[in-house]
Structure 1
Amino acid sequence: MGADVNQKDHLRRSPLSISCFLGFTKLTNLLLENGAKIDGTCMERAYYGWNGNIQIETLDILQEKGWINLYLDDLRKAPKGFTVARNVEEALSIMKHNKIHILSLDHDLGMDEKGNLLQTGYDLVKIMCQRGLRANKIYLHTSNVVGREAMYETLRASQRRGFIDDDIKIYFTENSFTDC
């Protein structure tokens, strides 16, 4: 009927972000079909949905539209609502084709069949900084203390120098999503 599907209320919530929060998948699809714009708020509200429930079906809809949460780890199971990448090459491929809301990084990513160390989460961080790649939020879930420090300091320095966006939130924590 001509209503602005992206109109925000007095709390700055769009109809889509409210629908994502409540897990109203039919309404989410209807809004998207009529031009609603997905942003990080929609992803955030779907992930931390009503009563603390992850709105998996809603996250699936948003993923179909190119928005995902990405979990880089060679061993751990990805938490609900995340797409897993087992190595840096796979993570880069996923990042190339999607908008990343939450990126959660492990440092050590194992060895190849010849016993050589594979690229690490720190290598992905350096590539992100060189190419200006984006995730709205970055969590460092690695148990490697030295690796976590290196990733964090590189990301923060890159923000200060303008290599990556200064509005990216970076979380220095071991237990970001491993217990979800």
Structure 2
Amino acid sequence: MEKISVFLDDYRQPPEGYVLAETIDECIQLLYNFDIEHLSLDHDLLNKTRNGFMLVQMMVKEKLFANRITIHSANSVGGKAMYKLLKQAQFESILSHATIVSLRPLPLHSIPSKVLQHYIDVR
């Protein structure tokens, strides 16, 4: 199965080499159909009820994960909730302990070069 990296966001542009998913439905389809090396997730999306937290709930329920997961949401409450749910899934051995889960909020307008290194290091 082909390995890809996915960037879920409806506002920011993805780093070079990433597939952009603008909705959780697009992201779920990618999780079902590809081996995801790095999954970077936003919380706030255009559809307020189908946000990044709902995606993480679906991922845990369906056991759909990536080798590395980053929460990049600027929404501190929503981002932390997503991070905590993934860490709880690791604690309960639903998500592999080998999966790297990180919380790295991104500004809305551009990705600073130092932060971009986090995405480059993934390859």
TM-score using structure 1 length: 0.58
Q: Does structure 2 conserve the Cα–Cα contact (< 8 Å) formed by 1:107 and 1:121?
A: yes
How far residue 166 of structure 1 moved from its aligned partner, in angstroms, is 1.5
User: In structure 2, which of residues 53, 59, 68 is the aligned counterpart of residue 122 of structure 1?
Assistant: 53
Per-residue Cα deviation, 1:36-72 (whole angstroms, up to 9, x for no partner): xxxxxxxxxxxxxxxxxxxxxxxxxxxxx51100000
Aligned to 1:92: 28
Q: Output aligned runs, 1:138-177, within 5 Å.
A: 138-175=69-106
TM-score using structure 2 length: 0.84
Aligned to 1:10: none
Distance 1:152 1:172 in 2: 7
Matched residue SS, 1:93: helix
Q: Does structure 2 conserve the Cα–Cα contact (< 8 Å) formed by 1:70 and 1:82?
A: yes
Partner AA of 2:111 in structure 1: T
How far residue 118 of structure 1 moved from its aligned partner, in angstroms, is 4.2
Distance 1:66 1:162 in 2: 25
Aligned to 1:104: 40
Q: Does structure 2 conserve the Cα–Cα contact (< 8 Å) formed by 1:74 and 1:86?
A: yes
User: How many residue pairs align between the two structures?
Assistant: 111
Query: Are residues 1:77 and 2:10 paired?
Result: no
Distance 2:43 2:58 in 1: 14
Q: Does structure 2 conserve the Cα–Cα contact (< 8 Å) formed by 1:71 and 1:78?
A: yes
Aligned to 1:178: 111
Which structure is larger by alpha-carbon Rg, 1 or 2? 1
| Structure 2: segments with no counterpart, 5+ residues | 117-123
Q: Does structure 2 conserve the Cα–Cα contact (< 8 Å) formed by 1:141 and 1:178?
A: no
Per-residue Cα deviation, 1:15-52 (whole angstroms, up to 9, x for no partner): xxxxxxxxxxxxxxxxxxxxxxxxxxxxxxxxxxxxxx
Partner AA of 2:34 in structure 1: N
Aligned to 2:121: none
How far residue 178 of structure 1 moved from its aligned partner, in angstroms, is 3.1
Q: Does structure 2 conserve the Cα–Cα contact (< 8 Å) formed by 1:73 and 1:106?
A: yes
Richer in strand (by share): 2
Distance 1:147 1:105 in 2: 11
Richer in helix (by share): 1
* Cα-Cα RMSD: 1.7
Matched residue SS, 2:95: coil
Aligned to 1:46: none
Give identity over the alignment, percent.
Answer: 31
Q: Does structure 2 conserve the Cα–Cα contact (< 8 Å) formed by 1:143 and 1:174?
A: yes
